[in-house]
Structure formats: structure tokens, C-alpha cells
Amino acid sequence: MNKQQTANKRVTTGILLLNLGGPERLEDVEPFLYNLFSDRRIIRLGPFFLQKFIARRIARKRAAQSRANYAKIGGGSPILAITKKQAQALTRALADHGNYMALPCMRYWPPFADESVDRLLAAGADRLIALPLYPHYSMATSGSSLIDLERAIHKRTKPPSLTIIRSW
């Protein structure tokens, strides 16, 4: 299949590579940490109604040290760039087997589930496959990402079908 045929092909199956996400720039560190600590599947910080308040305090307290650590590795997390490369490689590998498009779907920093699902639906996907990239299943990792993805899918008036790859 040549590049023009590939470019004109309507995507029928979208593959969402689920991952944690990470701050892309040093100024993203505190809001990233807030998103992370706001998730009760990661850590329960007191009663439900205090979760976001406590998460904000922890994010503020840990931001400086986390920024210093991210500065040592170039100023941001490499996770999105790596996951984008994986998505592109998977899309290419599946090109001769159907109309697939793989995209990153991050839990705590963009692109979030809503954005990734929107992009796949806009490309024509009517079927989605969730592929968690976490090394093992845990409610704090794969579980939280899958719940967030299912929420993003089912809030649509015409949700696409979803297949979840639970282990590989």
C-alpha cells in the first residue's frame, strides 16, 4: 500500500495505548502531581471530600523537588514522546492488516482519554481497542486508566465498541 492510499484510508479501528503521562515542561510538574494525587485509585487522602484539597497541598510541597529531578533529564518526562513512537510503529505494523490508528492515551497529563477518543472518532473509528502499557495490572495503574477511558467513551451519545487487552 502506498502513502497516498494509506492517507485516504478511513480508520475503522482505533488503538489507545494507555499510559501514565508525565509533565512535558517544568511548569507542568505541579498540575501533573495534582492530577496524580487527586485520583483516589492511586492514594486515598482522607475522606473523599478532602482528596483534592490534600492533593493540592502535596503537589505544592513536592513540586520543587520533582522539578529538580525532571530538570536533570531534560526538563520533562519522555513518556509521551516514547508512547507516540510506539503508537506510530504499531500503526505502521498493522497497515497491511486493516484500517488501524494507534494513539497515546494518558491518565494524568494530556492527551487525556477524551482527546484521544475524539481524535479516533473524528478519523472514522467505530471500534476501539485499549492496550495498557503498564507492566502489570493494578487498580492504581491499568484499572484507573481503563475506568477513565470507559467514562470518556460512554458519555458519548453513540459510543464505539471497546475491546480491552488485559494482558500481553
Domain ranges of the chain: 3-22+78-164, 26-72
pLDDT-above-90 percentage for the chain: 85
Q: How many CA atoms lie within 13 A of 131 on its CB side?
A: 15
Q: What is the pLDDT of residues 56-87, one digit of tens each?
A: 999 999 999 999 999 999 999 999 999 999 99
CA distance 120 to 162: 12
Q: Quote the CA–CA distance of 135 and 47 in Å, as a whole number.
A: 30
Q: Decide yes or no: CATH 3.40.50.1400 for domain 3-22+78-164.
A: yes
pTM of the model: 0.91
pLDDT tens per residue across span 81-125: 999 999 999 999 999 999 999 999 999 999 999 999 999 999 999
Give yes or no for a contact between 21 and 79, defined as CB atoms under 8 angstroms apart.
yes
Radius of gyration in angstroms for the set of CA atoms belonging to the chain, rounded to a whole number:
17
